Amino acid sequence: MSDISIKNLSFAYEEGGKLILNDITTEINSGEFVCILGQSGCGKSTLLRLLAGLEMPTGGKITIDGEEIKGTSLKRGVVFQDYGLYPWMSAGENIMLALKQCFPSEDKNKLKEKALDMIDAVGLESEVYDKFPKELSGGMQQRCAIAQSLSTNPPILLMDEPFGALDAVTRARLQDLIKDLWDKEEEKKTVFFVTHDVDEAILLGNRILVLGQSPSHIIFDYKAKKDWELSRDNQFDDVEALKLRNELIKQINLDVKSKIK
Ligand SMILES: Nc1ncnc2c1ncn2[C@@H]1O[C@H](COP(=O)(O)OP(=O)(O)O)[C@@H](O)[C@H]1O
Ligand SMILES: [Mg+2]
Question: pLDDT band for position 82 (50/70/90)?
Answer: confident
Q: Is 212 in the pocket of ligand 1 (CB under 6 A)?
A: no
- Taking the C-alpha atoms of residue 115 and residue 156, their distance in angstroms, rounded to an integer, is 19
Report every protein residue that has its C-beta within 5 angstroms of ion ligand 2: 45
Task: Tell me the per-residue pLDDT of 93-149, one tens digit each, with 9 for 90 and over.
Answer: 999 999 999 999 999 999 999 999 999 999 999 999 999 999 999 999 999 999 999
Q: Residues 6 or more apart from 243 whose CB is under 8 A from it?
A: none
Q: Is the link from the previous residue into 154 a cis peptide, with omega within 30 of 0?
A: no
Centroid of ligand 2 to alpha carbon of 46 (angstroms)? 7
Q: With 0.95 as the threshold, say if the pTM is over it.
A: no
- List beta partners, residue 211: 218
Q: With a cut of 90, say whether residue 6 has pLDDT above it.
A: yes
Which one of 14, 22, 46, 51 would you pick to mutate in the ligand 1 pocket, going by the greatest count of ligand atoms within 8 A of its CB?
46
Higher-confidence residue of 30 and 84: namely 30
Centroid of ligand 1 to alpha carbon of 208 (angstroms)? 21
- Taking the C-alpha atoms of residue 226 and residue 192, their distance in angstroms, rounded to an integer, is 18
Q: Which of 121, 194, 109 is nearest to 160 (CA)?
A: 194
